[in-house]
């Protein structure tokens, strides 16, 4: 990989790069923070019996950061930042697409594989993006640029529950959850409801894969 040096691009290139990076950091936050909502949602839709099982959502996602920290750096050293970012998005897209067969089969283990792939993609992307933010402009303002990216990342954390709720939840879900909790449904009725609940994640994650 080329030696990192600070640069001062023309204003148009600089602001374009900053805008692209801001969107990337927003996506990083969106994908990361939505996991906290997936935990209770999966617990209901996939009939997870313990909190321990449901917290594998967080484990599968963040263990990828630990496992891929060094490999991501080696990859970037070999292919460079731009190709590294491309590979990161490819892993994210793959992970999001894995949600489709996982939802269709209601298999928790497949969801965990998808989350691990998404986490791997984000590990690569953040390993590439963080130093890239520092070199796209004057080095003395690198901390300021990182702070701006942090704002977009945290803003995603604020809006991710709202976006997930708008796309996935329905106004009738409270009654649906009450029926499931009451245990009065037949096995067929319960499976129909659970299949509907879990398949709602297909649309948002398919959109993520395309993006």
Instruction: Give the pair of three-digit tokens for residue 24.
Output: 């990337």
pLDDT higher than 90, residue 4 = no
Q: Stretch 74-89: mean pLDDT, rounded?
A: 89
- CATH classification at residue 80: 1.20.1250.20
6 within domain boundaries? no
Q: Where are the alpha helices (DSSP H) in the chain?
A: 11-33, 35-45, 51-54, 56-79, 81-105, 108-135, 142-168, 173-182, 187-199, 202-210
111 Cβ contact list (under 8 Å, min separation 6):
42, 46, 57, 98, 99, 102, 103
Instruction: Give 209's pLDDT tier (boundaries 50, 70, 90).
Output: confident
Half-sphere exposure of 106 (CA within 13 A, CB side): 17
- Residue 138 has a pLDDT of 84
5 within domain boundaries? no
193 within domain boundaries? yes
146 within domain boundaries? yes
19 within domain boundaries? yes
pLDDT higher than 60, residue 9 = no
4 within domain boundaries? no
Per the structure, how many domains does the chain have?
1
pLDDT higher than 50, residue 132 = yes
pLDDT higher than 70, residue 17 = yes
Listing DSSP states for 106-134 in one string gives T-HHHHHHHHHHHHHHHHHHHHHHHHHHH
- Residue 167 has a pLDDT of 87
Instruction: Note the pLDDT tens digit of each residue in 155-198.
Output: 998 998 888 888 888 888 888 888 888 888 899 999 999 999 99
Q: What is the mean pLDDT of the chain?
A: 88
Q: Which residue has the higher pLDDT, 130 or 101?
A: 101
Burial class from Cβ neighbours inside 10 Å (0-12, 13-18, 19+) for residue 85 reads buried
- Residue 134 has a pLDDT of 86
160 within domain boundaries? yes
Q: Stretch 47-65: mean pLDDT, rounded?
A: 91
Residue whose tokens read 């953040």: 126
Q: Stretch 200-208: mean pLDDT, rounded?
A: 91
37 within domain boundaries? yes
Instruction: Note the pLDDT tens digit of each residue in 82-123.
Output: 888 899 999 999 999 999 999 999 999 999 999 999 999 999
Instruction: Note the pLDDT tens digit of each residue in 18-49.
Output: 999 999 899 889 888 888 889 889 999 999 98
Residue 55: domain span: 11-210
Cβ contact 57:35 at 8 Å: yes
pLDDT higher than 50, residue 5 = no
């Amino acid at each position: 990989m080329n030696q990192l040096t600070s640069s001062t691009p023309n204003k148009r290139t600089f602001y374009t790069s900053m805008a692209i990076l801001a969107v990337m950091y927003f996506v990083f936050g969106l994908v990361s923070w939505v996991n906290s909502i997936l935990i209770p949602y999966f617990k209901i839709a996939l009939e997870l019996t313990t909190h321990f099982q449901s917290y594998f959502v967080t484990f599968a996602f963040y263990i990828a950061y630990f496992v891929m920290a060094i490999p991501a750096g080696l990859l970037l050293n070999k292919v460079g930042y731009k190709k590294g970012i491309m590979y990161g998005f490819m892993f994210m897209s793959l992970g999001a697409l894995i949600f489709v067969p996982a939802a269709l089969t209601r298999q928790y283990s497949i969801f965990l594989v998808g989350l691990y792939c998404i986490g791997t993609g984000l590990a690569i992307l953040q390993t590439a993006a963080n130093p890239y933010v520092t070199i796209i402009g004057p080095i003395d303002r690198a901390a300021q640029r990182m702070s701006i990216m942090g704002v977009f990342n945290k803003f995603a954390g604020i809006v991710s529950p709202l976006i997930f709720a708008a796309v996935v939840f329905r106004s009738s879900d409270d009654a649906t959850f009450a029926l499931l909790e009451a245990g009065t449904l037949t096995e067929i009725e319960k499976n129909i409801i659970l299949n509907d609940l879990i398949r709602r994640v297909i649309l948002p994650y398919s959109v993520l894969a395309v993006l």
